[in-house]
Chains A and B, each alone.
Chain A
Amino acid sequence: MSSPDLTLTPQSYLHGLSRWQPVEIVFWLATLLPFFLFPNYLALASQIAITALFALSLDIILGYAGIVSLGHAAFFGIGAYTAGIFSKFVWGAPLPGLLVAAAAAGLVGYAASFIISRFRHFTLIMITLGLGLLAYEAANRAHWLTGGSDGLQGISISRLLGVFNFDLYGYTAYGYSLAVLFVLFLAARRLINSPFGLALRGIRENWVRMPAIGADSRAHIRNAYTIAAAIAGLAGALLAQTTQTVSLESISFQRSADILVMLVLGGAGRLYGGLVGAAIFMIARDQFSGIQPQFWYFWIGILLIVVVMFLPNGILGGLSHFLARWKRR
């Protein structure tokens, strides 16, 4: 128990919670390094940025509102397919494609949120799983639209802002993905530090108490879920536009499970957890890409067991715990 800081006022305390920490500035500057230090890895870097954005969207509902979703890839896939189909039949410009994809994913998320917000615990997990599997089946069956198991063919993305071409060097892809990630990150950061973010944390901390303080938890969850769906859709659209392919993998349970692992690895409810987890996971997967897939999943399995038993708040949680104990020495 520390003695009260006499210079602290209620408002300054709350301002302090939302202030930018130096380590955050370092983090974002570091994201520019691949341009200079790892130009051969820009394709991987843009994949990481896209996955990080996807993880961020899951963090909003899982880390902050406490909703365990095993089907979040449904929105990622909807975004990817929408962006791909939009470029194929309507307009190849990337930015409008992003907006349309986010709108489509957000719309489906909004509809689903009415179901999601009514359930808890096991039933909720099963419904998210079921809705995710339904989305996969829908994409699989509608191969006149999606290409089914062959994937979506014929995507062509024109120049970004009329200037930047998406080429094999990957500069445009990474710059684009990183920029979108950063902008959405700023938005998510504002959301977390808003009264709405506080309400979401209240829901996560004590579901029962919320109606007793006058909160409409279901409405909050619907809004959070819709926003998270739209952001996931954006990430999916980025994937479609930067790789110019979309496959069923983008809407599969595999992707839902992977993103959950990444977020938990990094630490849910810490805003940067998904970004850190995505980076570590994908770099590791790239380094170990030679080995058999089942052995990769063996180590992921062990990692999950270790994280749950010993590092329940992920890497970032472990770091902040360690730092707190260091400070108290």
Chain B
Amino acid sequence: MSEIALSTRNLNKRFGSLVVANDIGITLPRGARYALIGPNGAGKTTLINLITGMLTPDAGQILLGEEDITQRQPQERVHRGLTRTFQINSLFPHLSALEAVTLVVEERRGLAGRFWQNLATHKESIEEAYAILKKLHLGDDCYQPTRELPYGRQRLLEIALALATQPKVLLLDEPAAGVPQEESGEVFEAVAGLSDDLTLLFIEHDMHVVFRFASHIIVLVGGAIFAQGSPAEISAHPGVREVYLGTRKHG
């Protein structure tokens, strides 16, 4: 069993003259809690898009464990245990939370194609979905259409959808983004409660969150890795401060 859960080698991507990913190589050991930080436009979400297959790299490799997944379709990567959440909620507005999570479970179990069976008879999937929702304190709200849920609960649903895929590696894109102060605690609780076996890479702007959860920080600037190391190393790194302060000068 590999100790490296996810790694990339020489990942490159450009749009015309704009380089969004410059020779990116990262290595995530199993159970890691890594944070990805950097100024706006540094290419953090782009990197996640490349890793998950939403964007095709110009060059480079992505490995999940030992397996090269660079050519794999996005949904195949999910089946192999690589899942991401979205910075802005990407949910199913008219589906109830229960329906949405059940759909994810059914897809994972390969049952979503069964057009001749009533969904209500798929007891195992339904109960698994409900258990995930309850764990995230969404059990009571799960019968309402998603769009009627407050933003904070929707953010939790975003995480629930990801968990229902039973990921080995989870990429969280600003998990608490847009969540009002009084509700963000629940989101962090959910993140903290994730299994130690699960490998986590999260994008975050709030440095308190980063220092609370991350064991290792990667700093991305202009599409390239600027620095990486432990929280102590990074907070002492003069260049990192410069990048954060300096970018304000350059606008």
Contact = CB atoms under 8 A, between A and B. Distances in A.
Interface of A: 1, 4-5, 8, 10-11, 13-15, 17-18, 190-191, 193-199, 201-202, 205-206, 208-217, 219-220, 223, 227
A1 B148 CA distance: 8
A193 B165 contact: no
A10 B126 contact: yes
Most chain A beta carbons < 10 A, residue from B84, B108, B120, B165: B120
Given A195-B103, A202-B100, 6 more contacts: A190-B116, A205-B95, A206-B90, A212-B52, A215-B107, A223-B115
Interface string B105-147: 0111001111111111011011101100000000011111000
Contact of A213 (B53, B54, B107, B123): B107
Closest 7 CB pairs of A and B: A214-B78, A196-B115, A211-B74, A205-B92, A14-B120, A15-B120, A10-B130
A4 B115 contact: no
Interface of B: 52-54, 73-75, 78-79, 83-84, 86, 90-96, 98-100, 102-104, 106-108, 111-120, 122-123, 125-127, 129-130, 140-144, 148, 161, 164-165
B108 A13 contact: no
Nearest to A214: B78
Nearest to A198: B103
B92 A201 contact: yes
Given A4-B143, A212-B90, A213-B78, A196 B107 contact: no
A223 B115 CA distance: 10
B43 to A, nearest CB: 19
B120 A18 contact: yes
A132 to B, nearest CB: 25
Given A14-B119, A190-B118, A201 B112 contact: no
Nearest to B90: A209
